[in-house]
Amino acid sequence: MKKIGIGIMAASALLMVSQPASALFINGGFEDGTTTGWTVTYGSVYSNPTSSPDWTTTLYGQPAPVVIDNTYSGYGETVDVNPYTGTKMVKINDINGSYHATKLSQSDTIGAGDLTETLYVNWGAMLVDPSHPVADQPFFSINVLQNGSVLGSFSANATDAATPGSGWTLAGSDGYSPLWYKTGQYQYDLSTFSIGDIIDIEMFVADCGYGGHGGYAFLDGIGTVYVEPPGGGGEVPEPATMLLFGTGLAGFAGRRFRRKKA
């Protein structure tokens, strides 16, 4: 009986060692099939530039986030957008247009156990390019913040995505206009943070400003367990304060925005 008890204790200790000290962020892999732990915000670009949705207005037919698995097949896509890690990831907004914008966000607090970890954030975006004026093109944005200050930021509209050398991949068509796809991974060495620091992740995607074309985005693998970047990445990299895969620190500079006529 004593030997059995010792064996159970040893197994428990081994299990504790094999698990990450901290995961940060609730439901960072969406493996339960829901968006539990995340805040979903709906908005409109009916009278706003697509880069700055009106988050006080919700329109009819607003598409709810969908947790997808490896059976997902998007409309018109010719690239594989299966989960970046595990078996599920979340998809926000859709290809249908109608002036919608959708935002997903979550905050967490750095604890003592997090300081030995590295935080990973995986994302992807799919934008239709209907060749509208810049302020009316489908738009994507992601920000990671520490105590309200931006650590990592990427944004682009469909004009940026279609620009040669932008790093976006031609991913099919919605039947009339090309689809452009991009993925990325942020990672942060949390040993440079302090206990009590607040980490925020905010991601949104918006339809075009004429109401006929959509944009959508994916989020997955949010936490302190390493996963390969979207598309593969090989060996676990050396931790860095901030290392970006396939992204820039910011979206293309020099964008000109205009407010549409009512």
Hey, where are the domains in the chain? 22-245
pLDDT by residue (tens digit) across 186-223? 999 999 999 999 999 999 999 999 999 999 999 999 98
Q: Judging by DSSP bridges, how do beta strands 118-128 and 100-109 pair with one another?
A: unpaired
Task: Identify whether the C-beta of residue 138 lies closer than 8 Å to the C-beta of residue 214.
Answer: yes
pLDDT number for residue 133: 97
User: Which CATH number is 22-245's, of 2.60.40.2230, 2.40.240.20, 3.40.50.300, 2.60.120.260?
Assistant: 2.60.120.260
Mean pLDDT across 227-247: 45
Mean pLDDT across 162-168: 95
pLDDT number for residue 7: 45
Question: Rounded to an integer, what distance in angstroms lies between the CA atom of residue 54 and that of residue 42?
Answer: 9
Question: Rounded to an integer, what distance in angstroms lies between the CA atom of residue 94 and that of residue 100?
Answer: 9
pLDDT by residue (tens digit) across 87-135? 999 999 998 899 999 999 999 999 999 999 999 999 999 999 999 999 9
From the list 108, 127, 106, the residue with the least C-alpha distance to 218 is: 127
More confident residue, 228 or 28: 28
pLDDT number for residue 75: 78
Burial of 166 (0-12, 13-18, 19+ CB in 10 A): middle
Helix (H) or strand (E) holding 159: helix 158-162
Q: How far is CA 127 from the centre of its chain?
A: 14
Question: In which residue are the tokens 């493996």 written?
Answer: 31
From the list 102, 170, 160, 96, the residue with the least C-alpha distance to 131 is: 160
pLDDT over 90 percentage in the chain: 65
Mark 227-237 as b/e (b = at least 16 C-beta within 10 Å): bbbbeeeeeee
Q: Which residues contact 189 (CB under 8 A, 6 or more apart)?
A: 118, 239, 240, 241
pLDDT number for residue 9: 41
Residue 243, amino acid: L
> What is the model's pTM?
0.80
pLDDT number for residue 172: 85
